[in-house]
Structure 1
Amino acid sequence: MTTLAPSPGQIRRWRRALAEERAEARIYRNLAARAAGAERQILTELADAERRHEAHWENLLGEHAGPTRMPLRVAILGFLARVFGFVFVLALVQRSEERSTYEADVDATDQMAADERIHSEVIRALAARGRAAMSGSFRAAVFGANDGLVSNLALVLGIGAAGVADSTVLLTGVAGLLAGALSMAAGEYVSVKSQVELLSASAPDPRSADAVAALDVDANELALVYRARGMDAEAAAARASDVLATHSAALEASEAPSLDGVGSPWMAAGSSFLFFASGAIIPILPWLFGLSGVPAMALAAVLVGIVLMVTGGVVGVLSGSSPLKRALRQLAIGYGAAAATIVLGRLFGTSVS
Structure 2
Amino acid sequence: MRLLHNLWSILLLAIVCTAFYVRLNPKYRKISAPIVVAQLYNNKTRIKITILGQDDGSRRKQKLKANEKNSMTCNIPKLDVNGSDVIKFFSDPSPIHCKQGENWVYIDKDNTARLIPERKGANCHTQAISFETDTRNMIGPKEILVVGKELPHEMAIVTCSDNTTTWEASLLSLRKVKKATKNIQRKRWSVLMMSFDSEQKLNFRRKLPTTVGILEELGAVIMNGYNIVGDGTPQVFIPILTGGTEEELPLTRKRFDNASFVDDVYPFIWSNFSQAGYATLFAEDQSNLGMMNYRLKGFRRPPTDHYTRPYFKQNERMWRTNNVRRVGSDLQHKHWLRYARQFLEVYKGVPRFGLMHHCVR
Calculate the TM-score normalised by the size of structure 1: 0.20
Identify, as 1 or 2, the structure richer in helix. Answer: 1
Q: TM-score, normalised by structure 2?
A: 0.20
* Structure with the larger strand share: 2
Which one scores higher on RCO, CA 8 angstroms, separation ≥ 6?
1
User: Which structure would you say has the larger Rg?
Assistant: 2
